[in-house]
Structure 1
Amino acid sequence: MEPIAFSFDQPLFVVGTQPVTAGWLVTAAALLVALLSAIFARRAASRRAVEHDERMSALIVAQTEMQGRVAAMAEVFGTRQAELNQSLSQRIDGMTHRIGASINEQTKATHENLRRLQERLAVIDNAQNNIQLLAKDMAGLQSILANKQTRGAFGQSRMEAIVADGLPMGAFAFQPTLSNGARPDCTIRMPKDQPLLVIDAKFPLEAWNSMRDAESAEQRQQAAQAFRRDMEVHIRDIASKYLLAGETQDTAFLFVPSESIFAEIHEHFEAIVQKAHRQRIIIVSPSLLLLSIQVIQAILKDARMREQAHLIQSEVVRLMEDLSRLDERVRKLQGHFAMTQKDVDEILISSDKLTRRGAKIEALELQAEADPGAKTGEAGGRSMDGRMGQLKLRVVDED
């Protein structure tokens, strides 16, 4: 079979007078397709434009709403920010005020603490100065106690101060001379011409200081033996020199110028204390010496009171005589007062009677004025006479 030859210029059919070829149909179909494509494309573009417009309108509406919301939120945020700023300002102002007040209080407290600290520092400075002066005095005291003569002068001066402060002048004597030529540190005059009381203020401190400064137990023991020996010798010297029959008391005082030494002697050297008691020597500290002086002062005062007892008795007798005369005169004055009171009572009785009579007369006159029969003649006169008679009888009865 032979192939059919095809040509676009070959007429296929005739429309009216116009032949229609294949090329024309193809061209028309292409144009139609293109037109339809254009129409569809335009419609799609229109739809897309409409959709775009709708979307743009919706977007504009949404944007408008968003702007409104943003404006509202901005307004709300502005209001809230203003309130927050105001609140923060108030809080900051309050906190600033509180911080300022707290800082002022802290400043005042700091100034007060600094002032107190300065006062305490001043006190500490004074105390330090006193400690330095005391250290100098202690150094001087050590130098005094290191020398036997100055040590004796130190104990003597302290004992003299205690005795002079506690007893009147004439009741004591310092460094007197006894009948045997001995010179005790102090003697105290006892009442009723009794023998003198002797006080010795020489205390051996060399061995004591050596015992305190000992570095080993052996040195301390040797110093303790030396101190015990010196104390025994000193006690025997006091007993042999100052205990004189008929001139001094049978007991003497050994003055120790330190309370601590006195306590350690009684604690660690009991044998020395017992031996001193057997020798009738009493070891006394400053406080015990002061107490003894006060007791002696009371005894002297009691003796002076007893010496002046007869004068007191005579004055009491005179006082009782004056009191008797005063009692007698007071009783006489009481009698005069009693008589005067009796006269006053009688005068008051008479005055009361006169007052009652005047009141009755006044009442009678008022009755006479109120009685209508007083204006009717004789009957009224007789009635008045009768009442006057009754009034006279009553007055006579009351008198």
Structure 2
Amino acid sequence: MSSETIIILAVISGIFIVGLAAVVIFLLKKLDVIGSSLKNDAAITMMNQNMQGMQQKIDQTTRDMNDRLDRAANVIGHVSKELGSLQEIGRNMKGLQDFLKSPKLRGNIGEAILKDLLRQFLPKENFALQYKFKNGATVDAIIRIDNGLIPVDAKFPIDNFTKMFQAEAEAEKLIFAKEFTRDVKKHIDDISKKYILPGEGTVDFAVMYIPSEAIYYEIAINSGDLDRYALTKKVFLVSPNSFSYLVRTILVGLEGKKITEASKQILAALHAIRQDNDKFGQSLSVLNRHITNAKSSMEGVANEYEKLSSKIESTLVLKGENEIEKALETIE
């Protein structure tokens, strides 16, 4: 082979090698571009997935907030409605209080309650309302039994009782309590003089109807002398509950027993009620003392604990907490 042919082959080989190298370099660059593109696509895909997840969370949070706002709106609407009802009740209660400021109106309500009790327990022929005596006096009700009429008065002096419980100062309470006692005694005297009229067919006692259990309790427990004073005037004090017992006892007399037996049963029933009431009052007083003593003991323990805590804190500050801990470890 000639030298010229060898040179040509060498040149062709060199060109081929250079071309092949260029192709390889081009392919490598393309592969780098493709790899970078693939990496960017994966990043974009991941970002899109994250964005979708975040959007779903935002949508769910928005829905939850909307639900809560709807529930809050419903609650606010319900509360507003209830407040409106309470305001209306308050206005009605104020109107009722203003209505009851008149003694005559209070008396009418007491008479209405008395009338309902009588109608509930007694036949129509055995009682009468607004019964007028020959002397001109008119009693709220009478109960007819075999041997006479039982007068029942429902007009009760309540003004000073109300003032007594509304007063804040103890001195004022005592003043109104005395005035309340005086009012009740005067009313007892009036009932005894005006309505116990054997000459007009009444029995030898009358009934003073107290239209409130709270007032009756105040008289029976805290003003026991009033109850005893009423007995000396042959006036029986009754509350709505005890009056129902009284009427039931009278029913026994209406079934054929003599008035003396019926009177004894009435007295026994009233005394039994009185005893039960006294026992309840005593139990309530004992319970109140126990609660007061327990409260005092609790306050004493709390004070001692505070003093002990203060001493411990003072010791820690003066001595140093680390030194105290080391001393305790040494003791252990």
TM-score range, shorter chain: 0.5 to 0.7
Larger RCO, structure (CA 8 Å, separation 6 or more)? 2
Asked if the contact 1:187–1:198 (Cα under 8 Å) also holds between the matched residues in 2, the reply is: yes
Q: Is the 8 A contact 1:256 1:283 kept in 2?
A: yes
1:133 to 92, 104, 112: 92
- Of the candidates 10, 27, 39, which is equivalent to residue 77 of structure 1? 39
1:214-293 equivalent positions in 2, closer than 5 A: 217-245=170-198, 247-290=201-244, 292-293=246-247
How far residue 201 of structure 1 moved from its aligned partner, in angstroms, is 1.2
Q: Is the 8 A contact 1:166 1:297 kept in 2?
A: no
Alpha-carbon distance change, 290 to 101 in structure 1, aligned in 2, over 3 angstroms: farther
**1:67 aligned residue:** 29
Report Cα offsets for 1:127-169 as digits up to 9, x if no partner: 2112112112212222x13xxx455444334433443455443
Aligned-partner residue type, residue 100 of structure 2: L
Whether contact under 8 Å (1:204, 1:230) holds in the other structure is: yes
Q: 1:102 to 1:202 in 2, by over 3 A?
A: same
Q: Count the aligned residue pairs.
A: 237
1:119–1:75 Cα change, 3 Å: same
2-structure distance, mates of 1:109, 1:168: 62
- Residues 153 and 84 of structure 1: CA distance in aligned 2, closer, same or farther (over 3 Å): closer
The match for 2:114 is: 159
The within-5 A match list for 1:115-130 is 115-130=74-89
The answer as to 2:203 corresponding to 1:203 is no
CA distance in structure 1 between the aligned counterparts of 2:52 and 2:170, rounded to whole angstroms: 81
What amino acid does structure 2 have at the position aligned with 1:76? L
| 1:250, distance to aligned residue in structure 2 (A) | 4.4
Q: Deviations over 1:191-214 (max 9, x none)?
A: xx2433321112223443554566
Instruction: Give deviations 1:275-325, integer Å, cap 9, x for gaps.
Output: 2234442322334335545x369658x949xxxxxxxxxxxxxxxxxxxxx
Residue by residue over 1:10-59, the C-alpha shift from the partner in whole angstroms, topping out at 9 and shown as x without a partner, is xxxxxxxxxxxxxxxxxxxxxxxxxxxxxxxxxxxxxxxxxxxxxx99x9
State the SS of the aligned residue for 2:236.
strand
Normalising to structure 2: TM-score of the pair?
A: 0.56
Report the secondary structure of 2:124's partner residue.
Answer: coil
Contact 1:208 1:223 in 2 (8 A): yes
Shift of residue 187 of structure 1?
1.0
- Kindly indicate whether the alpha-carbon contact (under 8 Å) linking 1:167 and 1:297 is maintained by their aligned counterparts in 2: no
1:37-116 correspondence runs (5 A): 67-68=29-30, 70-88=32-50, 90-92=52-54, 95-96=55-56, 99-116=58-75
Identical columns (%):
23
**Per-residue CA distance 1:48-82 (angstroms, 9 max, x = gap):** xxxxxxxx99x989976873563243143034135
SS at match of 1:175: strand
Q: Name the CA distance, whole Å, in 2 between partners of 1:62 and 1:266.
A: 119
How far apart are the structure 1 equivalents of 2:76 and 2:252?
A: 53
Is the CA contact (8 Å cut-off) linking 2:129 and 2:142 kept in structure 1? Answer: yes
Partner residue in 1 for 2:131: 176
Task: State the AA in 2 paired with 1:186.
Answer: A
Distance 2:68 2:99 in 1: 45
- The amino acid across from 1:197 in the alignment is I
Partner of 2:278: none
User: For residues 220 and 79 of structure 1, do their structure 2 counterparts lie closer, same or farther at Cα, with a shift above 3 Å needed?
Assistant: closer
SS at match of 2:242: helix
Letter in 2 for 1:136: G
Distance 1:210 1:133, change over 3 A: closer
In the superposition, relative to structure 1, how do residues 162 and 114 fare at CA in structure 2: closer, same or farther (>3 Å)? farther
Structure 2: how far apart are the matches of 1:108 and 1:277? 70
Q: How does 1:179-190 map to 2 (within 5 A)?
A: 182-190=137-145
Q: Secondary structure of 1:184's match?
A: strand
Tell me the C-alpha RMSD between the 2 structures.
3.9
